Structure 1
């Protein structure tokens, strides 16, 4: 799905002048998978907002000089330093560096920003305005199944029939995150010593359900 988004992202990546995208939606929507796929591109750098300070973000950008900056949980950007670094980078494609010896220097850094967030209310308007904002809706059961099967067969090398079984079982038990399919497949493979059966999958998903956050521990 989202072929139009994929095409637009590819066009933006090929463009001479940077265009920045913000993907908005609840947890376990396509935005997370898009960030994961973009992180596979050489020259990309992934950060989680709120885990670095302003100087830390600037230093990271200066050290790695990414062509693509991926930011998860953009709504957790809080400090004025973080915001200033991002605004300047996105608007002018530069970073400002001040040293005792050389004073203020300007470092040119052509970089595209792809970010994700659950909500936009806490994002400063001046930062939000720099993005093309894309709103993602929750997956339907059919869409979620297709995504899970695709992830399992292409990344985890699951047999198609077993991938469908894992996806259907997870959805039936209320799991909505495609990454849960990866966890279930890996746990099943570990539990079975490399062999994955429906019985093992049932046991693993039952275990995941029992200790799922928000459910508490069942004695």
Structure 2
């Protein structure tokens, strides 16, 4: 891992501007646009001291894609979707593993108690957990936290203040389709036509701007007709469920 980061840093901070831009585009290839944010994140990754960055904005932006790119490219990384994750499960992983980069999607969904644990790590570099009979376990660690949030007001003030906060705007259709094309070719080796159709169908037929829906569809399709069928099933039972609630 040290060798990988060393090579990454030597290229990133070398003099030729073209080398830096090429590396940033390669590292965040599936993110459309945002060259300045790509550069900032790249510098943060190779920083000698932990940097914590919070990407905010609507669901239909590149926040999650940035995290997925880091998950795919970096070692010693742990990704958490805060919607379904448990605080104890996250703490257990951090205690048992030498994690350097913690990626938290929708950090605003975390409980306040779990936010407090993260705040302590960010402030002191110490992970603390109180177990049965008031026994406390501690672990010193350098942890870089990259997170996303749809609603920053749900974060505690002290935790939010520890982040460098960057707001991303909503996709337009053309950007969404381009992200789908790049992401699905890289992760699932889907051809351009099917990838673009998934992006278009999720946006226009499912009325979703969430890249996660693109990934869900991609995992189950091989042909263009598969896309049509799966979108139809999704819409049919989404409507049925909404009527029942």
TM-score (norm. length: structure 2): 0.73
Runs of 5+ unmatched residues, structure 1: 190-195
Q: Provide the rounded CA distance (Å) in 1 between the counterparts of 2:170 and 2:211.
A: 12
Q: Provide the rounded CA distance (Å) in 1 between the counterparts of 2:109 and 2:217.
A: 29
SS in structure 2 of the partner of residue 203 of structure 1:
helix
Q: Deviations over 1:19-57 (max 9, x none)?
A: 10111122242111122222232101223447434x654
Cα 1:202–1:83 change in 2 (3 A) is closer
Cα 1:202–1:105 change in 2 (3 A) is closer
Q: Deviations over 1:151-184 (max 9, x none)?
A: 1222121122232233233333123222323333
Cα 1:201–1:73 change in 2 (3 A) is closer
- The residue number in structure 2 matching 1:178 is 211
- The residue number in structure 1 matching 2:52 is 20
- Aligned counterpart for 1:187 among listed residues 212, 220, 229: 220
Runs of 5+ unmatched residues, structure 2: 1-32
Aligned 1:194-213 pairs, distance under 5 A: 196=223, 198-212=224-238
Q: Provide the rounded CA distance (Å) in 2 between the counterparts of 1:122 and 1:199.
A: 42
- The residue number in structure 1 matching 2:141 is 109
- The residue number in structure 2 matching 1:139 is 171
Cα 1:182–1:75 change in 2 (3 A) is closer
CA contact (8 A) 1:45 1:64 kept: no
TM-score (norm. length: structure 1): 0.81
- The residue number in structure 1 matching 2:123 is 91
Q: Provide the rounded CA distance (Å) in 2 between the counterparts of 1:179 and 1:97.
A: 32
Q: Provide the rounded CA distance (Å) in 1 between the counterparts of 2:137 and 2:226.
A: 59
Say yes or no: does 1:155 pair with 2:187: yes
Which structure: greater helix fraction? Answer: 2
Q: Provide the rounded CA distance (Å) in 2 between the counterparts of 1:58 and 1:13.
A: 22
Q: Provide the rounded CA distance (Å) in 2 between the counterparts of 1:161 and 1:155.
A: 15
Task: Please state how far the C-alpha of 1:106 moved relative to its aligned partner.
Answer: 5.5
- The residue number in structure 2 matching 1:43 is 76
Task: Please state how far the C-alpha of 1:108 moved relative to its aligned partner.
Answer: 2.0
Say yes or no: does 1:77 pair with 2:110: yes
Task: Please state how far the C-alpha of 1:66 moved relative to its aligned partner.
Answer: 0.7
Cα 1:17–1:214 change in 2 (3 A) is farther
Q: Provide the rounded CA distance (Å) in 1 between the counterparts of 2:192 and 2:143.
A: 38
SS in structure 2 of the partner of residue 6 of structure 1:
helix
CA contact (8 A) 2:112 2:156 kept: no
Cα 1:79–1:186 change in 2 (3 A) is closer
Q: How many residues align?
A: 207
SS in structure 1 of the partner of residue 75 of structure 2:
coil
Cα 1:217–1:200 change in 2 (3 A) is farther
